[in-house]
Amino acid sequence: MTDVSLLTALAILFVIIGPLLLIARSLRLSVVPSLILAGLIVGQLGIIDEELMLELARLGIAFLIFAFSVQIHTERVRTTVSDTEVVAIVQALVLGALGVVFALGIGITLELGLLANVGFEGTLGIEQALFVGIAAALSSTIVGTALFAKGQSDIVHDYLSAEIDSFNDLLAVIILLVVSAGVFTLEPIATQLGYGVILFAAAVIVNRYFFGVIELLTGGSDESMLISIVALLIVFLAAAEFLETSIVVGAFAAGLAVRDNPVTYSEVFNGLTSIRQFFVAIFFATVGALVTLPAPGAVIATPAETLSPFLPVAALAFGLVVLTVIVKPIVTVALLVYNGYDRRSATVAGLDMDHVGEFSIIVAIEALILGLLIEPVFEAIILAAAVSMLLSNLTQTYAEDIYRAMLDRGWLGRPYHNVDDWHTVPEGITDHVVIVGYGRQGRRLAQFCEEIDQPYVVIENNPQALSALRDECAAYVLGDAIEPETVEVANYDRARLIISTAELPALTDYFLSLSDTVDVIVRTRELPMAAELLERGATYVIVPDLLAADQLASRLEGLLDGTYGPEEIRSVGLEALGVGDTAPHPSSTDLPTQTDDSEV
């Protein structure tokens, strides 16, 4: 393979991607199906060699993983296992075991000859079944976020998805190191794991002790910093090649070595974001290009001979799709609800993971290149990845509708915990204020209500905030604000005012439906949307930018007319930021961390 051929492959890919993306944009369609379709066209035309496409996929995924691992903060690594990580472990074990059992079942069926006239190259034994289990078990931070270009949200289900997927990514790196050994024997695997430890240790050392030197030498230049980061990536890729381990592991370690500082070097991280979007396009296109389907002409000419080798591939792919799109969300929802999360957050988080992850694809590619994976199983994993990503695009778009439909049909059962055990609302409370979300803004609203002796009820759906609610709130309910049980306990119908600090369309729409009987305050960041919400019945709309501007003007006026001095303004600012105080308790409105614009 030459650099010219790689560039040619990229050019061909984007020549076909371009028109399809323009059509998708004009028809307001999702870009993900368009990218996969473009890749599928390239693959079916056969104009790019498969070996070259595999190398392009490896490089694309490596750069993509680097761009995402830059966002990981090494100083936040915990030595304790959280409930979300327990969910991730159990989920991976259950789905992995089901994937292995299913693949072995297909293998036994083929060996017994129960499917007549079906050709299959290779034996579908335990080693091959393990890769099917890996594909079923691993979801992806990258697919889960890049798929829909979502920014960091303050909603619990986004936090849950990110936590579980991040653990899956770490597990996938370990699996990738094992696969890089090339054989399933102890000594080579231990050697590869040792190389991984060396790379990650080097990344942490660079991040903690040497990245500051790089910042100093660049002298604040965004261009120099970007070049330095790219050079750092190349060094880690070269180290991975030298150690004969996967370049994806090197790219992951390189991202950990970079200190995430978007404030100081905003242009640098904007540049990395652009790189990420470029490789996201390559990723989805190469997934489509690697899909192998029977040629239509051959199917028509010799249907039996053409389709018989494809039947086991299709069966494996179908089973993987069922496991990832249906079984994995069910397992995830059950585990999260068991751990105290509300049914809505658990359901939407489960739908975030209904796909074959990018690490599963790179594991399959590495295993294929090293001769550990046979071609039919690889084809099944790629086909399942493409189909599951397309379906995931739909489930993410209609996640709220899916949740409501499941709830209305009683498929979600009742909450695992009894809402009566997780609330302190006086029976028959009336003329009270309902505060939805106990983040920074929710806490201040609760404090204000206490100062003026106004009865209130806080609604929070994150179990991690339970201890804070018990210590600080006179009345609270731990549960989803839309759940019938929560509505009944909080007595919405007799409330004086409902204030939603969570910017979530489903919540906003629900509370606006109550605006005929109770005053409602909701939140949005978009000015046109604020006007629309007021027209729909909102008493007031919280727009952080407007509140921040009003507060800035008030502080500036006080500073200029001598009411406040610079030190007083600074002191108020530090107090508002909570500097010196304990960290804010996690909430549905500030997970994993968030500074509220309206109060800084």
What number is the average pLDDT over the span 373-377? Answer: 90
- Predicted local distance difference test score (pLDDT) of residue 454: 95
Is residue 587 domain-resident?
no
Whether 64 and 272 have beta carbons less than 8 Å apart is answered as no
Q: Which residue would you say has higher pLDDT here, 498 or 80?
A: 498
Specify whether 403 is located in the same domain as 503. Answer: no
Buried b (16+ CB within 10 A) or exposed e, 559-586: eeeeebeeeeeeeeeeeeeeeeeeebbb
Task: Using the structure block, give the residue that is written with the tokens 């407007």.
Answer: 546
Specify whether 71 is located in the same domain as 109. Answer: yes
For residue 150, pLDDT beyond 60: no
What number is the average pLDDT over the span 314-319? Answer: 92
Q: pLDDT confidence of 97, banded at 50, 70, 90?
A: very high
For residue 285, pLDDT beyond 60: yes
Q: pLDDT confidence of 383, banded at 50, 70, 90?
A: very high
- Predicted local distance difference test score (pLDDT) of residue 60: 81
Share of the chain above pLDDT 70, in %: 84
The CATH number for 403's domain is 1.20.1530.20
Q: Is 245 left (phi over 0), alpha (psi -120 to 50) or beta?
A: beta
Specify whether 304 is located in the same domain as 399. Answer: yes
Specify whether 400 is located in the same domain as 440. Answer: no
R_g of the chain, CA atoms, integer Å:
27
When the pLDDT of each residue in the chain is averaged and rounded to a whole number, the result is 81
DSSP state of 75: G
- Predicted local distance difference test score (pLDDT) of residue 153: 45
For residue 50, pLDDT beyond 50: yes
Buried b (16+ CB within 10 A) or exposed e, 479-493: bbbbbebbbebbbbe
Q: How many helices (H) and strands (E) does the chain have?
A: 27, 6
For residue 581, pLDDT beyond 50: no
HEC profile of 268-302:
HHHHHHHHHHHHHHHHHHHHHHHCCCCCHHHHHHC
- Predicted local distance difference test score (pLDDT) of residue 225: 83
Q: Which residue would you say has higher pLDDT here, 152 or 96?
A: 96
Backbone phi and psi for residue 256, each to the nearest 5 degrees, phi listed first: -65, -30
Specify whether 440 is located in the same domain as 312. Answer: no
* C-alpha dihedral, 180 to 186 to 188 to 194, nearest 10°: 80
> How far apart are the C-alpha atoms of 570 and 580, rounded to whole Å?
14
> How far apart are the C-alpha atoms of 170 and 99, rounded to whole Å?
20
The lowest-confidence range among 68-72, 199-203, 583-587 is 583-587
> How far apart are the C-alpha atoms of 247 and 130, rounded to whole Å?
22
> How far apart are the C-alpha atoms of 600 and 580, rounded to whole Å?
15
Please count the CA atoms within 13 angstroms of the CA of 372 that sit on its side-chain side. 21
Is residue 412 domain-resident?
no
DSSP state of 585: P
What number is the average pLDDT over the span 370-397? Answer: 89
Domain boundary, last residue among 407, 424, 452: 407
Per-residue pLDDT tens digits for 56-73? 888 888 888 887 788 776
Is residue 339 domain-resident?
yes
DSSP E strand stretches across 377-445 = 433-436
Specify whether 265 is located in the same domain as 325. Answer: yes
Is residue 22 domain-resident?
yes
Residue closest to 449 by CA, chosen among 467, 468, 430, 432: 432
Can you list the alpha helix ranges (DSSP code H) found in 149-265? 156-180, 186-205, 211-218, 222-242, 247-257
What number is the average pLDDT over the span 449-453? Answer: 93
Residue closest to 373 by CA, chosen among 190, 173, 132: 132
The lowest-confidence range among 207-216, 261-270, 438-447, 470-479 is 261-270
Specify whether 213 is located in the same domain as 288. Answer: yes
Specify whether 64 is located in the same domain as 116. Answer: yes
> How far apart are the C-alpha atoms of 370 and 381, rounded to whole Å?
16
Q: Is the dihedral of CA 99, 104, 105, 107 positive or negative?
A: positive
For residue 148, pLDDT beyond 60: no
Whether 309 and 60 have beta carbons less than 8 Å apart is answered as no
Is residue 437 domain-resident?
yes
Whether 332 and 350 have beta carbons less than 8 Å apart is answered as yes
Specify whether 188 is located in the same domain as 266. Answer: yes
591 token code pair:
């997970």
Specify whether 81 is located in the same domain as 176. Answer: yes
> How far apart are the C-alpha atoms of 166 and 552, rounded to whole Å?
38
Is residue 143 domain-resident?
yes
21 token code pair:
């993306």
Specify whether 285 is located in the same domain as 216. Answer: yes
- Predicted local distance difference test score (pLDDT) of residue 416: 59
Query: Domain count of the chain?
Result: 2
Q: pLDDT confidence of 235, banded at 50, 70, 90?
A: very high
What number is the average pLDDT over the span 336-351? Answer: 86
The lowest-confidence range among 264-273, 342-351, 522-531, 537-546 is 264-273
Q: pLDDT confidence of 406, banded at 50, 70, 90?
A: confident
Q: pLDDT confidence of 74, banded at 50, 70, 90?
A: low
Q: Which pairing describes strands 476-478 and 540-542: parallel, antiparallel, or unpaired?
A: unpaired
Q: What distance separates the 2 farthest-apart alpha carbons in the chain?
A: 91
CB-count exposure of residue 553 (10 Å: 0-12, 13-18, 19+) = exposed
- Predicted local distance difference test score (pLDDT) of residue 330: 93
Is residue 55 domain-resident?
yes
Q: pLDDT confidence of 595, banded at 50, 70, 90?
A: very low
Per-residue pLDDT tens digits for 545-566? 887 777 777 777 777 777 777 7
Is residue 598 domain-resident?
no
For residue 4, pLDDT beyond 80: no
Q: Domain of residue 489: give its range.
A: 433-579
The lowest-confidence range among 210-214, 231-235, 568-572 is 568-572
What number is the average pLDDT over the span 150-157? Answer: 54
Per-residue pLDDT tens digits for 459-516? 998 887 888 898 999 899 988 898 888 899 999 999 999 999 988 888 899 999 999 9
Q: pLDDT confidence of 594, banded at 50, 70, 90?
A: very low
Give me the amino acid identity at 423.
H
Q: Which residue would you say has higher pLDDT here, 301 or 438?
A: 438
- Predicted local distance difference test score (pLDDT) of residue 568: 74
| Total length of the chain | 600
Specify whether 257 is located in the same domain as 332. Answer: yes
In degrees, to the nearest 5, what angle opens at C-alpha 141 toward C-alphas 65 and 209?
50
- Predicted local distance difference test score (pLDDT) of residue 264: 60
Residue closest to 70 by CA, chosen among 275, 243, 278, 280: 275
Buried b (16+ CB within 10 A) or exposed e, 355-379: bbbbbbbbbbbbbbbeebbbebbbb
Q: pLDDT confidence of 600, banded at 50, 70, 90?
A: very low
The CATH number for 555's domain is 3.40.50.720
Backbone phi and psi for residue 277, each to the nearest 5 degrees, phi listed first: -65, -35
Other C-beta atoms within 10 Å of 119: how many? 13
In degrees, to the nearest 5, what angle opens at C-alpha 484 toward C-alphas 478 and 489?
55
Domain boundary, last residue among 339, 373, 407: 407
Q: Which residue would you say has higher pLDDT here, 157 or 441?
A: 441
* Helical pair 126-137 and 83-111, crossing angle rounded to 10 deg: 140
